[in-house]
């Protein structure tokens, strides 16, 4: 085959292939016979019609397409070998002309990444501080979680809890009835205005008012409709917070005093802030690593990433009882619009993944079998009695490969952060010192063995 190679885009080549006529005779006749067996020609046994007859009945185009279906992959592999291309994904083959047979193959190839001077990257995690007001806010939330609702006789105010009967009718006569409905009164109750109309009502009091449901309300039969309600307030309760004392601390966990609880909250807030500062520093270092690098990747890499993101979203929606199609209707977007919206994020993920993988390669980061086993155990442990079944599922080839990639990525990120914060230099110095000490010890042992008195009792 005569092959011409041309780069037509980032990590994309077009191969123009001219196939010698002598290579076509046998595969063309076999293609015509296969077509003839599937679509017999009157007067001939299936598969026995002369080639000229088959060409006249089926047409050249169909016979050539049938031939490529059979031998196209073989020619494709041969073309890749001759052109020395390593494909990223399956190339697309098309017939340009029949005589002489000329084919074109678009081949996306492996991404190319060149790292910059990543040892020069410097970031510093932000110093963290826990303010007393933050501890007070956390204590207030604990108070809220331990609050109780106490019956009162006064009129409803915002923040009260009410038990009501609500009987309504839409403009077209449809009844809307909810009895023994418990609500916490606020302006956020749907439909708008319902909560405000409850304010000022007393236990045992009834009131009539109109409200309008939003057009996107979850119940289509009420969406956009005006409803006339008659509401009766049966009980009114207000929230009673427990005092901030040792008893609250003891009910919140294994704390003896309020002071112990405050100390615990401060430690947890500090830990969370330190993790956030570390994550922010890592994001900065990763952005710098990508910024320094030069890289190329085929457009199909981005399309695949978008496919993966959409599948992940669809799976999450299914777990919540929704479908991707229904979700798109709710947000008022088409699938192409969603793909366009996800493209910048997909490109960022592709760049980060490629550069971090190259960094791991440059740093010699590998994953041991023991590390994979530990990760499998960690992932399966929360499933309790089903842990062994989950562990078995995760031990299949594809999940194990994904787990190994995740572990390698985490190790690469740890290494990057160590370099960017300067800890990597100290670690490298320590490793060199340890290696020098080991070499010196071995040299000393060798000298002792050569000494006339070495090794004697």
Which one of 240, 270, 287 terminates a domain? 240
pLDDT of the residue at 421: 93
pLDDT of the residue at 393: 92
* 61 and 120 inside one domain: no
Per-residue pLDDT of the chain (457 residues; tens, 9 = 90+): 899 999 999 999 999 999 999 999 999 999 999 999 999 999 889 989 999 999 999 999 999 999 999 999 999 999 999 999 999 999 999 999 998 999 999 999 999 999 999 999 999 999 999 999 999 999 999 999 999 999 999 999 999 999 999 999 998 889 999 999 999 999 999 999 999 999 999 999 999 999 999 988 888 889 899 999 999 999 999 999 999 999 999 999 889 999 999 999 999 999 999 999 999 999 999 999 999 999 999 999 999 999 999 999 999 999 988 899 988 988 889 999 999 999 999 999 999 999 999 999 999 999 999 999 999 999 999 998 898 999 999 999 999 999 999 999 999 999 999 999 987 544 544 554 555 455 445 545 545 444 433 433 2
Burial of 360 (0-12, 13-18, 19+ CB in 10 A): buried
* 79 and 32 inside one domain: yes
Q: How far apart are alpha carbons 296 and 286 in whole angstroms?
A: 18
**Residue 353 and residue 287 in contact, taking contact as beta carbons nearer than 8 Å:** no
Q: How far apart are alpha carbons 377 and 392 in whole angstroms?
A: 10
SS3 333: coil
Torsion of CA 247, 252, 253, 256, to 10 degrees: -20
Long-range Cβ pairs for the range 200-204 (8 Å, 24+): 200/155, 200/156, 201/155, 201/156, 201/231, 201/233, 202/153, 202/154, 202/155, 202/156, 202/233, 202/236, 203/153, 203/233, 203/234, 203/235, 203/236, 204/232, 204/233, 204/234
* 179 and 225 inside one domain: yes
pLDDT of the residue at 453: 37
Inside any domain, residue 318: no
* 140 and 157 inside one domain: no
Cα–Cα nearest to 211, from 158, 163, 168: 168
Return the CATH number at 169.
3.10.50.40
Q: Within its chain, how far is the Cα of 8 from the centroid? A: 31
pLDDT of the residue at 452: 39
Q: How far apart are alpha carbons 353 and 347 in whole angstroms?
A: 10
**What range does the domain containing 96 cover?**
2-110
* 73 and 20 inside one domain: yes
Inside any domain, residue 280: yes
Inside any domain, residue 195: yes
The 8-class DSSP code of residue 122 comes to -
pLDDT of the residue at 215: 87
Q: How far apart are the first and last CA of the chain?
A: 77
Inside any domain, residue 428: no
* 89 and 34 inside one domain: yes
Inside any domain, residue 117: yes
**Measured CA distances, 52 to 26, 55, 100 (Å):** 14, 5, 18
Q: How far apart are alpha carbons 187 and 24 in whole angstroms?
A: 78
Q: Domain tally for the chain? A: 3
Q: How far apart are alpha carbons 176 and 193 in whole angstroms?
A: 17
Contacts (Cβ under 8 Å, ≥6 apart) of 201: 155, 156, 207, 231, 233
Cα Rg, the chain, nearest whole Å: 36
**Residue whose structure tokens are 């007001």:** 133
* 105 and 6 inside one domain: yes
Inside any domain, residue 388: no
Alpha helix segments (H runs only) across 9-131 = 25-38, 51-58, 60-83
Inside any domain, residue 45: yes
SS3 78: helix
**Measured CA distances, 407 to 111, 331, 348, 393 (Å):** 22, 36, 20, 18
* 152 and 233 inside one domain: yes
* 105 and 19 inside one domain: yes
Burial of 2 (0-12, 13-18, 19+ CB in 10 A): exposed
* 32 and 61 inside one domain: yes
* 72 and 84 inside one domain: yes
pLDDT of the residue at 171: 86
Return the CATH number at 78.
3.30.70.1050
* 37 and 175 inside one domain: no
Cα–Cα nearest to 3, from 110, 109, 105: 105
Inside any domain, residue 379: no
Contacts (Cβ under 8 Å, ≥6 apart) of 399: 393
Q: Which helix (H) or strand (E) holds 397?
A: helix 397-420
Torsion of CA 402, 403, 408, 409, to 10 degrees: 70
């Amino acid at each position: 085959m005569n092959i011409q190679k041309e780069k037509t885009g980032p990590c994309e080549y077009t191969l123009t292939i001219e196939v010698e006529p002598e290579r076509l005779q046998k595969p063309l006749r076999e293609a015509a016979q296969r077509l003839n067996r599937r679509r017999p020609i009157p007067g001939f046994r299936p598969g026995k019609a002369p080639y000229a007859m088959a060409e006249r009945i089926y047409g050249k185009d169909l016979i050539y397409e049938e031939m490529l279906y059979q031998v196209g992959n073989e020619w494709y592999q041969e073309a890749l070998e001759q052109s020395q291309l390593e494909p990223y994904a399956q190339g697309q083959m098309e017939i340009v002309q029949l005589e002489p047979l000329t084919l074109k193959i678009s081949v996306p190839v492996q991404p190319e990444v060149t790292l910059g001077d990543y040892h020069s990257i410097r970031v510093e995690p932000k110093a963290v501080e826990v303010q007393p007001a933050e501890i007070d806010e956390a204590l207030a939330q604990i108070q809220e979680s331990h609050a109780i609702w106490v019956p009162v006789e006064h009129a409803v105010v915002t923040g009260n809890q009410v038990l009501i009967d609500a009987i309504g009718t839409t403009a077209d006569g449809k009844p809307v009835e909810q009895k023994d409905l418990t609500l916490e009164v606020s302006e956020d109750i749907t439909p708008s205005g319902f909560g405000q109309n409850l304010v000022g009502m007393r236990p045992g009091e009834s009131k009539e008012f109109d409200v309008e449901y939003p057009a996107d309300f979850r119940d289509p039969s009420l969406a956009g409709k005006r409803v006339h309600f008659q509401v009766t307030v049966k009980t009114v309760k207000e929230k009673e917070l427990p005092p901030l004392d040792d008893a609250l601390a003891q009910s919140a966990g294994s704390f003896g005093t309020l002071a112990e609880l405050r100390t615990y909250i401060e430690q947890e807030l500090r830990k969370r802030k330190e993790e956030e500062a570390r994550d922010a520093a890592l994001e900065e270092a990763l952005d710098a690593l990508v910024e320094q690098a030069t890289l190329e990747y085929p457009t199909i890499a981005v399309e695949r990433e978008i496919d993966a993101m959409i599948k992940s979203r669809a799976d999450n929606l299914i777990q919540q009882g929704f479908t991707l199609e229904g979700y798109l209707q709710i947000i008022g977007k088409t699938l192409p619009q969603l793909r366009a919206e996800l493209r910048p994020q997909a490109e960022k993920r592709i760049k980060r993944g490629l550069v971090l993988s190259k960094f791991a390669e440059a740093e010699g980061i590998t994953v041991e079998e023991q590390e994979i086993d530990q990760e499998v155990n960690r992932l399966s442990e929360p499933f309790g009695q089903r842990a062994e079944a989950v562990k078995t599922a995760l031990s299949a080839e594809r999940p194990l490969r994904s787990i190994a990639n995740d572990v390698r990525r985490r190790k690469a990120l740890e290494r990057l952060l160590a370099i960017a914060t300067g800890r990597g230099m100290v670690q490298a110095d320590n490793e060199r010192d340890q290696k020098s000490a080991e070499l010196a010890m071995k040299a000393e042992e060798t000298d002792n063995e050569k000494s006339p008195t070495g090794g004697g009792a």
